[in-house]
Structure formats: C-alpha cells, structure tokens
Amino acid sequence: MLKKGLLALLCLSFLIASCRRVPAGANVVLTGEPAAGLVSVEATGQGGNFPEMEQNALRKTFETILFVGLPSAATTAYRQPMTDARQFSAADLDQFFRQEQHRPFVVQSRRFTGRRRTAAGGRSLRFAFTINHEALRRHLEQRGLIRPFGY
C-alpha cells in the first residue's frame, strides 16, 4: 500500500514538473502591459561587466518573446511565441543582435541595484525592459522572418 502511494506521488510530481512552459534558465518575467502593443518584463543578465550583463538580459528577453511567449500575459498575442526555430533560426537571432536591430523595440530600459555572484563565479544583474511587441511583430513580418497573422 505504501509502495503504491509513493509511486503515485512520484508520478504526480513528474507530471507537474513536465507541465512547465518556460525554460528554467530563461528568468524573464512579465511585469505588466503599460499600453497597447507594449510589454514590460524583468530579466537577469550575466556577464563580467555592465554592457555584457545588459546584452545578455536583452537577448534572454527577445528569445523568450520570440520562441516561448510570456505565459502570465493577459493578452493571447503575448502568451504565444511569435515564431519557432524553423522560421527564425539562431543565426537570424545572432544577426539581429550583432546589427543592433533589437534596439528600436526597447522603449525603456533600467537596471536594478545590487549585483549578485552566480554559482560559476560570474556576476548577474536584474533589468527591467519595456518592449514594443507590436512593432517587433511588424518588423519581422515585413522581413519575411515570421508569417503575418491570419495567413
């Protein structure tokens, strides 16, 4: 009897753990939707210096918006990922950041105080970003990187 109970509890815990939508390392949290087409998020960036940490946090934010979505969003358009890896590859994302194409979509950026040490010995810092989700979608549609809505 006890053996069956433990087995059922173990199965239930695996089931609950497998339902998680956001990857554990993403560390991007929706904090609000200040206006139509805008989303506010907080993300943790890691690196050796401030620009590296900010770039890391921005990359995590855009990866989450593009490939995962923001599950706690009230609007379905934000909850669903914009694209998948077949439409927008890692090479496209690298080029998107190398050419600073992401900057026009960052409406506001601020950092929180208090750097923290990571387990690997690096540093991390928390940032808050407001992203123009609607403009990002239009930009990617015009470049043929994602399908237009409704097609």
Question: pLDDT tens across 12-30, in order?
Answer: 555 555 443 434 345 788 8
Q: What is the pLDDT of residue 5?
A: 64
29: helix, strand or coil = strand
Measured in whole angstroms, the distance separating CA 29 from the mean position of its chain's CA atoms is: 8
Q: What is the pLDDT of residues 87-96, one digit of tens each?
A: 677 788 888 8
Strands in 48-122 per DSSP E: 106-111, 116-117
Determine the Cα–Cα distance for residues 41 and 128; give it in Å rounded to an integer: 6
38 beta partners: 132
Determine the Cα–Cα distance for residues 140 and 96; give it in Å rounded to an integer: 10
Give the Cα-Cα-Cα angle 96, 137, 50 (nearest 5 degrees). 45
Q: What is the pLDDT of residues 53-85, one digit of tens each?
A: 999 999 999 989 888 888 887 777 788 888 866
Kindly tell me the number of DSSP H helices and DSSP E strands found in the chain. Answer: 5, 5
Q: Which tokens hold the place of 112?
A: 């929180």
